[in-house]
A and B are shown apart, each in its own frame.
Chain A
Amino acid sequence: MEYLVATAVGTLTAVGIYMILRGRTFPVVLGTALLSYAVNVLLFSMGRLVIDRPPILLLELEHYTDPLPQALVLTAIVISFGMTALVVVLALRAYLESGSDHVDGEAAEGGNRE
């Protein structure tokens, strides 16, 4: 299971980094989303990977899974979801205002960069 999770995080991060280095806004947006997935899975595994254990500390329980990373991931998911929504709107507005979806504002055909 460690191998699977680690590969998933690695692949997501690699693809995410590739995507945010692209020139057009849409791949960049997708890249930030992928990066946030990668980091969510990573955070989740930070309390160690355990199966079938309650996420709560009780005196009679010998094995439990760490509840704190789950709470952290929940916060991180909410924040990254909001951020993705914002960056989509922003990319769209920038495209509509400048006529170009290039991250540096370079003109596509018919674009009007000053």
Chain B
Amino acid sequence: MNHWILVPIILPSLAAPLIVLAARQDIVLQRCFSISSTAGMLAVSLFLLGQAISGPPQLYELGNWPSPFGIVMVLDRLSAMMVTLTSLLALLVLLYAIQAWDTRGRHFHALFQFQLMGLAGAFLTGDLFNLFVFFEVLLIASYGLMLHGAGAERLSAGFQYVVINLAGSTLFLVAVGTIYAVTGTVNMADLAVRVPLVPEADQGLLRTGGLLLLVVFAIKGALVPLHFWLPRTYAAASAPVAALFAIMTKVGAYSIIRVFTLIFGDGAGEVAWLAQPWLIPAALATMTLGMIGVVAARSLRWLICFATVGSMGTLLAAIGVFNSEALAGGLYYLLHSTLIVAVLFLIADQVAQRRGDHGDSLASASSYPQMGLLAGFFFLAAIAMVGMPPLSGFVGKLLILDSVRASSYGPWIWAFVLGTSVLALLGFARAGSQLFWKPSALPAGEAVQEEVALLPLIAIALLLSGIVALTAFSGPVTAFLYATADQLIDPADYIAAVLNSRPVPAQGL
């Protein structure tokens, strides 16, 4: 067994208590632990990604209990990619946060590490119930992070966030219970084998369970009509937290991909492609509502929140077609939209800090320090978000549009993606001109911020260079993603890796 598979989960879960217990008083020490743990996680996940690219899916059986009875972790291309994306995003967000944000409340770094543990676990687990457990781990940490810095607005939004996720967790348990009742297993690969064998009489329960899972993941992925929690939560959260949360909606997307290709995929008999008729209409509505929100938003943060919702719509519409080209396009868009949403939240925070009382509201105020630089950042990020050439948003949307041509949903997806892109373009152009163009004509106000914090700007620049790299290397990236999508659509390797394993023989200690 390859013990490295566990490291992305173990490392942050060791760093977090260390930070709480050993470094509670010393913020510098906390930062050191936090950065080194996240950097270590990135290194290990890159190593795992290399292994996943070159080999078949790998299994890790905890405590050497034979699968499908024990708890299993599975490393395949998708999970390796998601863990790498998470740790890369986390490292850059951390770089942003250590300038000032982590001192505005207690235990930022510990919660951050626990969040990473939950995320890595959710991506690596091969077990439906464990997916629930890791969801809870990442949610508990996210509750703490969301409230970081406190304040009445944050607390009130936090309460709603917690309650909707509690309701989601309850539904998750109901779904897992129902599926277990008709199949007798919670191991995902084992489920994939057993679902086609479910007798006729139990098909109704199985469908119910499967669609309840879709509802749960749709809550996480902010799919209309379950998106209401997202804008207020992300707008109320502090900037680095909102940027890290860019990966949280992708957890929902990941779970939809995993469950509805592996368990309810091609080989599922009567429940094959169970999610498709529900997912695509909901995704189209999500796209529309999100981008209308972008046009209507009154502050930059709300605009980004709605752009997040809209981009989830584009992503899930591509996933909902469930063929390997569309899935590859969707995954490319997933990489892109995670990075771009994060960088937009960070830019919005930099702008808000410099505008004093005006904050991030979309009203013109006097100019402020480094406005040109921030305007440049925003311009690049907005181009990528809207999907204008030459950046990765364009490549992503092009891949999606090209891949859905043959599908019967193709014309709808074309119409909605192109239409909402125009709306997004309008919204972002309006925001940019209010925030950056008009103030340059007004006389300069007194500087709100005396010294320039460099690290946040470096973090933003690095995230943006990630976007540029994703565009420049889109050839190799898409080649990798096509292979990933093939592995997902035909999960025989995954199932074989989980079910045909032999426990390691016991050795004397």
Contact = CB atoms under 8 A, between A and B. Distances in A.
A107 B373 CA distance: 41
A18 to B, nearest CB: 13
Interface string B238-257: 00000000000000000000
A103 B232 CA distance: 13
A97 B152 contact: yes
Contacts of B43: none
Chain B at the A interface: mostly helix, strand, loop or mixed? helix
Contacts of B374: none
A105 B495 CA distance: 49
Given A82-B140, A90-B155, A105-B156, A42 B150 contact: no
Given A82-B140, A105-B152, A87 B166 contact: yes
A36 to B, nearest CB: 6
A15 interface: no
Interface string B155-176: 1101110110011011001101
B96 to A, nearest CB: 26
Interface in B164-209: 166-167, 169-170, 173-174, 176-178, 180-181, 186
Given A32-B167, A46-B180, A79-B136, A86 B155 contact: no
B159 A91 contact: yes
A104 B228 CA distance: 13
Interface residues on B, range: 20 to 34
Given A32-B163, A103-B159, A42 B177 contact: yes
Contacts, number: 92
B177 A39 contact: yes
A7 interface: no
A39 B162 contact: no
B264 interface: no
Interface string A49-67: 0000000000000000000
A83 B150 contact: no
Chain A at the B interface: mostly helix, strand, loop or mixed? helix
A39 B159 contact: no
A10 interface: no
B173 A25 contact: no
Given A35-B170, A79-B136, A98 B159 contact: no
Interface string A74-113: 0110011011001100110110011000011100000000
Contacts of A87: 159, 162-163, 166
B151 interface: yes
Give the most central of B129, B143, B166, B167: most A CB within 10 Å. B166
Nearest to B130: A75
Given A39-B177, A42-B174, A79 B133 contact: yes
A101 to B, nearest CB: 10
Contacts of A94: 152, 155-156, 158-159
Given A79-B136, A94-B152, A94-B159, A46 B177 contact: yes
A86 B143 contact: yes
B118 to A, nearest CB: 12
Contacts of A38: 170
A91 B159 CA distance: 7
B171 to A, nearest CB: 8
Interface string A16-30: 000010000100100
Contacts of B153: 105, 114
A43 interface: yes
Contacts of B166: 32, 35-36, 80, 83, 87
Give the most central of B147, B160, B162: most A CB within 10 Å. B162
Given A83-B166, A87-B166, A94-B152, A76 B173 contact: yes
Given A46-B181, A69-B180, A97 B173 contact: no
A25 B155 CA distance: 12
A16 B261 CA distance: 33
A68 interface: yes
Contacts of B129: 72, 75
Given A28-B163, A46-B180, A87-B163, A98 B170 contact: no
A83 B181 CA distance: 26
A80 B165 CA distance: 12
Contacts of B150: 93, 97
Contacts of A42: 173-174, 177
A94 B151 CA distance: 9
6 closest pairs, A vs B, by CB? A105-B156, A94-B155, A98-B152, A46-B181, A46-B177, A97-B152
Interface of A: 20, 25, 28, 32, 35-36, 38-39, 42-43, 46-48, 68-69, 72, 75-76, 79-80, 82-83, 86-87, 90-91, 93-94, 97-98, 103-105, 114
8 contacts: A46-B178, A46-B180, A47-B180, A72-B180, A75-B129, A80-B166, A86-B162, A87-B162
